[in-house]
Amino acid sequence: MLTQPCPVGCFSIINSLNEFDFAFIIVHGTPAEDGKLQGYFEMMGIPHSACGVLTSALTFNKQMCKDHLKLYDIPMAESMIVTKIISRGEVEQHGIDVPMFVKPNNNGSSYGVTKVKEWAQLETAIGHALEYDHEVMIERALVGKEFSCGVVREGSQYHVLPITEIIPKGEFFDFAAKYEGESQEITPARLPQQLADQCQERSGRLYRLLGCRGMVRFDYILEGDTFYLLEANTTPGMSEASIIPQQAQAYGWSISKLLDIVVTDCLANSH
Same domain, 36 and 25: yes
Rounded average pLDDT over 111-119: 93
| 75-86 tens-digit pLDDT | 999 999 999 999
Is residue 4, in this structure, part of any structural domain at all?
no
Same domain, 85 and 106: yes
Same domain, 153 and 231: yes
Q: In which band, very low, low, confident or very high, does the pLDDT at 240 lie, cut at 50, 70 and 90?
A: confident
Total tally of structural domains belonging to the chain: 3
Distance CA 48, CA 266 (A): 7
Range of the domain at 17: 9-51
| 155-212 tens-digit pLDDT | 999 999 999 999 977 665 444 444 455 678 999 999 999 999 999 999 999 999 999 9
Rounded average pLDDT over 237-261: 93
Same domain, 258 and 189: yes
pLDDT over 70 at 146, yes or no: yes
Percent of the chain at pLDDT above 90?
77
* Contact between residue 69 and residue 229 where contact means Cβ atoms under 8 Å apart: yes
Same domain, 184 and 253: yes
Same domain, 179 and 234: yes
Per-residue confidence (pLDDT) for residue 181, from 0 to 100? 56
pLDDT over 60 at 7, yes or no: no
| 117-144 tens-digit pLDDT | 999 999 999 999 999 999 999 999 999 9
C-alpha 265 chain-centroid distance:
21
